[in-house]
Amino acid sequence: MTAVAANLSRADLLELRDLAVTLAQEAGRLIVNDRPRGLGVAETKSSEVDVVTVMDRRSETLLRERLGQLRPQDGILGEEDGVSAGTSGLTWVLDPIDGTVNYLYEQPLYAVSVALCVGDVTRDGEWTSLVGAVDVPMLGETFCAALGCGAELLRHDGSRVPLHIRAADRLDLALVATGFGYAADKRAEQGRVVAQLLPQVRDVRRGGAAAIDLCFVGAGRLDAYYESGINAWDQAAGQLVASEAGAVVSGAPGEAPGKKLVVAAVPGIHTALRDCLFTASR
């Protein structure tokens, strides 16, 4: 199902995109301005290094409250509080702090990711992002996109520029980002894959936030990003920013992007990178 199936016009999509921007920026300000001194780990999830802070929860609470006021008919899927059903067939997919470990360590690459999707957001390949916004408060930047309407970078000084990918056609000259999971066995496997990739590309970056990595592909700050094991909330908005800026966003060969694998790359290297990853992971 797409925007047409969701009966949304271009004007509707742009209005919803702007709402996603507003909400992402509100939550971005909250997590910076209200960060308590001596912020610690409130709880852990899949492992001791998969952390949640009190600000992850406050950010998602703010986003849910605002959506409850403005879009009560829509569903919500949030990283911390899960699924809330709606009646519109549309679902807001929220990562209240993407790059939580960076946030915990006061490193700048963390973001609030807000996407509006159609379809079943709990199943890979069964959903499509219609609008997305990724606010990176420490950079003073918000990346946003609407399906079929392009992608933009909004700077907190009020300026805005369209996003376009880099022109690249050689994998050996590509700057590629990736990330690693929170489970030791998964990280060992991912380490083997990136070790095989490293000599075949210009260099590798590990920023720590999928949403930012995907937006950086769209902004021409990376040639590609791939990762396995990230959730819909990590990638729903960033996928759309990257694709609307001209990147190819896929999963494994013949599969949609999702938790199993997401590969976002400039067209000239997407197939070569995906083939390289497929070979390395065997």
Residues of this chain that bind ligand LIP (CB under 6 A): 79, 95, 98-100, 179-182, 208-210, 227, 230, 234
Residue 249 Cβ vs ligand LIP, minimum distance, rounded to whole Å: 15
Judged by beta carbon, residue 171 or residue 230, the one nearer ligand LIP is: 230
User: Would you say 21 or 214 has its CB closer to ligand LIP?
Assistant: 214
Q: How far is the CB of 72 from ligand LIP (least distance, A)?
A: 26
Q: Which two tokens stand for residue 123?
A: 């199943």
Contact 16, 10 (CB under 8 A): no
Query: In angstroms, what is the minimal distance from the CB of 11 to ligand LIP?
Result: 32
Q: How far is the CB of 50 from ligand LIP (least distance, A)?
A: 7
- Residue in 243, 196, 199 with CA at minimum distance from that of residue 217: 243
219 token code pair: 């902004």
User: Distance (Å, rounded) from C-alpha 145 to C-alpha 1?
Assistant: 18
- How far is Cα 135 from Cα 112, in angstroms, rounded to an integer? 5
Work out the angle at residue 7's Cα, subtended by the Cα atoms of residues 77 and 247, and round it to the nearest 5 degrees.
Answer: 65
CB of 234 to ligand LIP, least distance (A): 4
Q: By Cβ distance, which residue is nearest to ligand LIP? A: 179
Residues 6+ apart with CB under 8 A from 53: 39, 40, 41, 42, 97, 100, 103, 104
- CA–CA gap between residue 160 and residue 150 (Å, rounded): 13
Distance CA 118, CA 131 (A): 10
Report the residue number, 149 or 265, with the smaller CB distance to ligand LIP: 265
Q: In terms of CB distance, is 74 or 234 closer to ligand LIP?
A: 234
Say whether 37 sits in a helix, a strand or coil.
Answer: coil
Q: How far apart are CA 250 and CA 217, in angstroms?
A: 13
Integer Cα distance of 123 and 24 in angstroms = 24
Kindly tell me which of 60 and 98 has the beta carbon lying closer to ligand LIP.
Answer: 98
CB of 110 to ligand LIP, least distance (A): 7
Q: Is the CB of 3 or the CB of 236 nearer to ligand LIP?
A: 236
> What one-character-per-residue DSSP string does 121-148 give?
TTSTTSEEEEEEEEEEGGGTEEEEEETT
Q: Which is nearer to ligand LIP, 100 or 239 (CB)?
A: 100
Q: Which is nearer to ligand LIP, 74 or 95 (CB)?
A: 95
In whole angstroms, the minimum distance from the beta carbon of 48 to ligand LIP comes to: 13
Taking alpha carbons only, the member of 35, 180, 54, 179 closest to residue 106 is 35
| Nearest distance from C-beta of residue 264 to ligand LIP, angstroms | 12
